[in-house]
Structure 1
């Protein structure tokens, strides 16, 4: 399959996922607790997947998944590091949203689910726009 993603479509997807992620944190009382626990991290990984697919329009989906998981897992592992400079970054909203705070094994599962959903979305978009 020839890959040539439409950057505008993927940029729109990134924006939609960002909005969904922020809304999922604002309206936690509307969702079941088990979903609240993992939804934000899954949406974050989906956003990373769509962003990478937007940047690397000709890469295979498997490659985008790999880069997404390496990035997400790397950020999660960085949460084991607590030097003063990185803690200062985590104290502001943007730093906290990007870097997180505490390492959780369950977040790795959520990232994997988000990347998997990204692959499904990617397949649908590529099929529709073919």
Structure 2
């Protein structure tokens, strides 16, 4: 049993590199992009891909369960925004909490998260099919 658990933990340089690149992209968007499309939609689209890559950087997991987990996590954060959790926790003056958790529920965010995860699943399917065909 312990052997199975150990084998799931590993460092994937590919996913780690993708995580860093996505994180830097998110920081750039958050700091320098102040438009009506990239910041609100592309940022949310990319954040689920970032979270997926972050987990895959350190833990080998099947694509679909991880994708569903990241998507559900994102939905929960969005519901917490609807419930105004930042204010409930007394963090409305904490800019980091406001950035990380967010402050405004939007159905468009739910759509962006869903589309981002669908892209992940599609890309993983293509990559896995190529790996299976080549090997």
TM-score range, shorter chain: 0.7 to 0.9
TM-score by length of 1: 0.75
Give the aligned CA root-mean-square deviation in angstroms.
3.0
Q: 4+ runs of 1 displaced by more than 4 Å?
A: 3-6, 123-128
Q: Check whether the contact 2:29–2:38 (CA below 8 A) recurs between aligned residues.
A: no
Q: Could you say which residue in structure 2 is the equivalent of 1:82? A: 84
1:8 pairs with one of 10, 13, 27:
13
Q: Could you say which residue in structure 2 is the equivalent of 1:37? A: 40
**Offset from partner CA, 1:27-51 (integer Å, 9 cap, x none):** 326xx73333301111111111112
Q: Give how far 1:61 is off.
A: 1.0
1:20 pairs with one of 10, 22, 25:
25
Q: Give how far 1:5 is off.
A: 7.7
Q: Give how far 1:85 is off.
A: 5.1
Runs (5+) with no aligned partner, structure 2: 1-7
* Greater gyration radius: 2
Could you tell me how far apart the structure 1 residues matched to 2:64 and 2:55 are? 12
Q: Give how far 1:125 is off.
A: 5.5
Q: Check whether the contact 2:9–2:58 (CA below 8 A) recurs between aligned residues.
A: no
TM-score by length of 2: 0.73
Could you tell me how far apart the structure 1 residues matched to 2:123 and 2:37 are? 23
Q: Greater RCO between the two (CA within 8 Å, min separation 6)? A: 1
Q: Check whether the contact 2:71–2:117 (CA below 8 A) recurs between aligned residues.
A: yes
Q: Give how far 1:19 is off.
A: 0.6
Q: Could you say which residue in structure 1 is the equivalent of 2:110? A: 108
Q: Give how far 1:96 is off.
A: 2.1
